[in-house]
Structure 1
């Protein structure tokens, strides 16, 4: 009987030692790191940022910042490299060395925790929207492209992220007549570039003229079966709710009023939710108001990775953490890949297509919603492309 009790006691002790927070590997001594992540110039708090480091066995220790950019987690003792990333880390990240002391809490200086822009970003100016204002308000740099420059893939491929404002397709043009532009955008996303489109700019994705007036419109590069958008929205205010937990935690809001300042905005009539993730819906009708996907790829145009040449020595991987049974997207230096490969990690995103970029589509204008929660949402979108 005593032997059985001893075995039970040792079993319980093992369970307790393995259940420590923030993925502490069994037997690993730790200390605590805490701080606040902010943007690089304007020092705005960055919610939802991934903060992580590794122990000597390449096991990850991680947490995410709250809506105020604050974090606190236990890390393995010794000289460690602390990483801070948003999205998959390919466009915004920073890292620095830190000495972790056993059972000690270290408050890190905010100056070390500012999120650097590693992406090269561009926007196409629009008649009805100005996402570039939010980007610069965060303290980051974005370059302007013209509609005609999208015809030149050598220009398009220099960027990591391209923002397509509502009204950026000239009223005298039709996107269905610019197959070269949509082919370039298809190749751009396939090879790692990310797109943001608002309202009428959905025409770049699914076709139409300078807007989309019907399902199955001519042009675009996204399959019509995955998304139907028609510009029959009515001016007014809609109450929305955030369906994505990470987005809600990062912004600190779950519901918001969205101002549709003009009529004829692009309503999402139908969406394939195995291809698109709905991030924001209208309360009551459940109508999608913001969606994203990283499932797009065109195998016929796979080629060199697009974007900032300074990122050429970095690679995005899917790291598996057995302790929490979690798959985590991170971006690491290429010379670190062999150790991660030995750990059992894989190249590319944990979900979606291997090396393709992300597409976000919002039905509303950012400039009409700068005084409510949607600005926080759009700031999160920018930092997570």
Structure 2
């Protein structure tokens, strides 16, 4: 009986020893069957506007692998980028803003541990938005749009009073001095204010410069007091008075993305056309300050996509129907807003993306306001590069 007992102990010891060896073998097998590191290559290039000569800084460049993981980078101030991308045939997306208005898609065959240089003919940023502008007295944003190689249609204040007309556009530029004859036809501007509210609430974006802040907060061609009649942005959100002084103003870029796109964070802005609309106060939870006066920290350029309004009708705006804006979180808890084909949305949402921009109202378009503009004299210096950024990021 004792021999049987010893024999059993010997078997148990042998079994444990073999099991230990078995664990080592299992570990080795598991390691050998673990998925190999993803094979990647590099894509390099230079994002350009349609004119083929103006580099676009701050553009998003990205692609996805077959499991819908995003590979992402941005272009520098010279438009240059390097994207690590998974091996294989992929669609490469190039976008500015959240991709709703300017974007390009190209196909590329990425090879493991190789670099593919994309030609500038492939990386030109396409205009997918319909753009309109209202002619001004002191400002010609359309000149900058055209110089970049893009197109815009001139419309009038009478067109702004027709919702069907403006609903076909994605972006509307309001040039300084275009809101005139307010007192002679207040009903016209009442209709304009209501239509702009509907336009932005449903995803359209607008840009207003200097005196045309009146479209936002009310008044005529310029505003001398707060809480004036008209406009569509709540009076509690913004006040601007026509008290800015003529001269050179030192400015600081207050937004990291804009700084990357421009390649500088300080500049001088020449206010050379007389009194300009000085921002007196604003709601910092509503507006983001992109450029501020260095000495006073006064806001010189602001934007928001937080606009909401009760009672505005739900109206289809613009031409962008095949792409959807989503918010994706990158490593480091960095959030980016991009636009992707509708077919990708369910897969990205399953990985944690959310539909809509990362901030702001889910349906609101952007409102940009700058106290400066491209003066009739053309004397704007580095501010011109900022206005290029505004155009491409609305």
Report the TM-score, using the length of structure 2 for normalisation.
Answer: 0.88
CA deviation map 1:30-53 (0-9, x unaligned): 111111010123431000000000
8 A Cα contact 1:235 1:260, kept in partner: yes
CA deviation map 1:170-202 (0-9, x unaligned): 245479652110110000001110000001100
Match of 1:28 in 2: 38
8 A Cα contact 1:320 1:326, kept in partner: yes
Q: CA RMSD in A?
A: 1.7
Q: Structure 1 residue 145 and structure 2 residue 155: aligned?
A: yes
8 A Cα contact 2:373 2:387, kept in partner: no
Match of 1:252 in 2: 263
Select which of 328, 346, 361 maps to 1:319: 328
SS of the residue corresponding to residue 183 of structure 1 reads: helix
Aligned ranges for residues 221-260 of structure 1 at < 5 Å?
Answer: 221-260=232-271
Note the residue ranges of structure 2 that are not aligned, 5 or more in a row. 1-34
Match of 2:368 in 1: 360
Match of 1:8 in 2: none
Match of 1:11 in 2: none
Q: In structure 2, what is the Cα distance between the partners aligned to 1:305 and 1:298?
A: 16
Aligned ranges for residues 1-385 of structure 1 at < 5 Å?
Answer: 27-171=37-181, 173=183, 177=187, 178-308=189-319, 311-321=320-330, 323-367=331-375, 368=377, 370-385=379-394
Q: In structure 1, what is the Cα distance between the partners aligned to 2:150 and 2:132?
A: 11
Q: In structure 2, what is the Cα distance between the partners aligned to 1:299 and 1:172?
A: 25
Q: In structure 2, what is the Cα distance between the partners aligned to 1:174 and 1:255?
A: 42
8 A Cα contact 2:40 2:110, kept in partner: yes
CA deviation map 1:76-96 (0-9, x unaligned): 111111000000000000001
8 A Cα contact 1:226 1:275, kept in partner: yes
8 A Cα contact 1:231 1:265, kept in partner: yes
* Residue 227 of structure 1: how far off its partner (Å): 0.8
* Range 258-267 or range 113-122, more displaced: 258-267
* Range 362-371 or range 336-345, more displaced: 362-371
Indicate how the Cα distance of structure 1 residues 290 and 130 shifts in structure 2: closer, same or farther if over 3 A, else same.
same
Q: In structure 1, what is the Cα distance between the partners aligned to 2:345 and 2:239?
A: 40
Runs of at least 4 residues off by over 3 Å:
171-177, 368-371
Task: Tell me which structure has the larger Cα radius of gyration.
Answer: 2
